[in-house]
Amino acid sequence: MGHDVIVDAVNGPEMARAQWRELADRTQAELRFIVVECGDDSIYRDRVEHRQPIAGFPEPTWAGVLHRRTTFPPWTDERLTLDSVNSREANLQTALNYLAST
In a domain, 7, yes or no: no
- Ordered DSSP codes for 7-57: ------SHHHHHHHHHHHHHHT----EEEEE-S-HHHHHHHHHTPPP-TTS
- The 10s digit of each residue's pLDDT in 8-62 is 888 888 899 999 999 999 999 999 999 999 999 999 999 999 999 999 999 999 9
Radius of gyration of the chain (CA): 16
Q: Which of 28, 35, 22, 30 is nearest to 4 (CA)?
A: 30
In a domain, 56, yes or no: yes
In a domain, 5, yes or no: no
What was the pLDDT predicted at 67?
95
Does 64 score more than 90 pLDDT?
yes
In a domain, 94, yes or no: yes
Helix (H) or strand (E) holding 93: helix 88-100
For residues 56 and 19, give the distance between their C-alpha atoms in angstroms, rounded to a whole number: 26
pTM of the entire predicted model: 0.86
In a domain, 46, yes or no: yes
What was the pLDDT predicted at 9?
87
Count of domains forming the chain = 1
Q: Which range marks the domain in which residue 80 is found?
A: 14-100
Does 1 score more than 80 pLDDT?
no
